[in-house]
Amino acid sequence: MITTAPRGTQDVLPQESYKWHFIEGKLMDLARRYGFSEVRTPTFEHTGLFDRGVGDTTDIVQKEMYTFTDKGGRSITLRPEGTAGVARCVLEHGLLNNPLPLKLSYLINCFRYEKPQAGRFREFRQFGAEVFGSQDPAVDAEVIALVADIFTTLGISDIALELNSIGCPHCRPAYHEKLRAYFAQHIDSLCPTCRERLEKNPLRILDCKNDSCKEVAKGAPLGIDNLCDECADHFASLKERLTAMGIPFTVNPQIVRGLDYYTKTVFEFVSTSIGAQGTVCGGGRYDGLLETLGGPSTPAIGFAVGLQRLLAVMEQDGASLGAPPACDIFLASIGQSASVEAQKLALRLRRAGLHAESDVQGRSLKAQMKYADKLGARYTVVLGDDEVKTGQIKLKRMDDGQVEETTLEALPALLCEK
Ligand code: ATP
Ligand code: MG
């Protein structure tokens, strides 16, 4: 018998699932207020989409993808992130023909073959949002404001916005040359993957998790000192807008982000309360992605929040996660005809929107009441032959034992008011 889930995966147990509903409900509501519509794309895509869309020099593509050949001989990959699939969907369905900017959000499970540890799983959940069709820094500011609002709305204060700009195809080649020259001097300290990256994409070395590479990266020339005028203006305007909206940030020139397609703005929201994996949200502008995928040149920006990490921060900070759903009423019964009546009544109450339970185990009255207590039922009614005959019932409030006389007929309306 197989009794354990694969390493790096998690079960959300029934007594925990309300927390996920709470968080995801808040996220979707905030996204709606910011004008985002939900998009749902497949859990798996053609592997080539991620090779191109995420970038074949990234950790994700080089080390972390769940890739397999399906029975038709196609190479398929479980999505490691959401942006590439959404971008593919936008192009495939011509969504750029809608009024721009196009704002899309999603809630997805992602799959990465990583070393499982606190805050790092092989299957994890993300909330993400993407805006297509505007290169104005106002959009960068709006997207970042949405993320900041997410944390404020969820009652998280221990989180800091870190911001950087990594330039564009105009300023990056010269910067890459500087990086190449720098890392070439330290090639003996680089991991084998980064030695290969040196030629192809030296920026990636700045994002390597290897300790020795990290040490070398500390002394590397900074992207922010090497921006062209357009990128520098864009960054200045973004900072001005964030300041105007009262959204605090710090510039962290070390952030490059794990995906190859980023341009200009990159950002992370980092918490110090959940240990080493403190990055709860990562995002950035990716003006080159759609063209890379064969579409028209289209500026875009997006982010993704890791929901396991978000939940961990909320639990750590003691933020409200809603309450487990309570049972409104337990309908106890004595005898067969009362049991039938109780089940009928439960049906009426449920149709009225209440959580009602009746006995479906043939328990004794005493056992039924004990069960009602365990369920945490707010009210109980006991139905016997008399109650069925007269329709008169006694509604008992469980927390203080108060009893109210009413009728079977009036019960749904009465309870809905409570
Ligand atoms: P990290 O630097 O922690 O590996 P990343 O740069 O790979 O993160 P992104 O691709 O930007 O992460 O994903 C966005 C968010 O998704 C992260 O900020 C994090 O909250 C979450 N996330 C990423 N990988 C994992 C994982 N393996 N397990 C749980 N959450 C994850
Ligand atoms: Mg990663």
The pTM assigned to this predicted structure is 0.92
Ligand 1 atom closest to Cα of 122? 27
Distance CA 383, CA 409 (A): 13
CB contact at 8 A, 193 and 62: yes
Ligand 1 atom closest to Cα of 60? 7
For residue 306, report the distance from its CA to the centre of ligand 1, in Å.
6
Ligand 1 atom closest to Cα of 114? 27
Residue 258's pLDDT is: 67
Using alpha carbons, select from 64, 62, 132 the residue that is nearest to residue 295.
Answer: 132
Q: Is 295 helix (H, G, I), strand (E, B) or coil?
A: coil
What's the half-sphere exposure (Cβ side, CA atoms, 13 Å) at 321?
Answer: 18
For ligand 1, atom 15: residue with the closest CA? 306
Tell me how crowded residue 290 is: count the other CB atoms within 10 A of its CB: 23
Residue 288's pLDDT is: 92
Ligand 1 atom closest to Cα of 280? 20
CB contact at 8 A, 290 and 91: yes
Residue 353's pLDDT is: 95
For residue 148, report the distance from its CA to the centre of ligand 2, in Å.
22
Ligand 1 atom closest to Cα of 307? 20
Q: Is the previous residue joined to 101 through a cis bond, with omega within 30 degrees of 0?
A: yes
**Residues flanking ligand 1, CB < 6 Å:** 81, 112, 114, 119-121, 124, 126, 258, 277, 279-282, 304, 306, 308-309
Candidate of 279, 289, 308, 314 to mutate for ligand 1, largest count of ligand atoms within 8 Å of Cβ = 279
For ligand 1, atom 10: residue with the closest CA? 258
* Ligand nearest to the CA of residue 306, numbered in listed order: 1
* Ligand nearest to the CA of residue 266, numbered in listed order: 1
For residue 60, report the distance from its CA to the centre of ligand 2, in Å.
7
For residue 114, report the distance from its CA to the centre of ligand 2, in Å.
8
**Tens-binned pLDDT, residue by residue, of the chain (418 aa):** 788 999 999 999 999 999 999 999 999 999 999 999 999 999 999 999 999 988 888 888 989 999 999 999 999 999 999 999 999 999 999 999 999 999 999 999 999 999 999 999 999 999 999 999 999 999 999 999 999 999 999 999 899 999 999 999 899 899 999 999 999 999 999 999 999 888 888 988 988 889 999 999 999 999 999 999 999 999 999 999 999 999 999 999 988 876 767 899 999 999 988 888 899 999 999 999 999 999 999 999 999 999 999 999 999 999 999 999 889 999 999 999 999 999 999 999 999 999 999 999 999 999 999 999 999 999 999 999 999 999 999 999 999 999 999 999 999 999 999 8
Ligand 1 atom closest to Cα of 304? 14
Residue 67's pLDDT is: 97
CA 60, 64, 68 angle in degrees (round to 5)?
115
CB contact at 8 A, 350 and 325: no
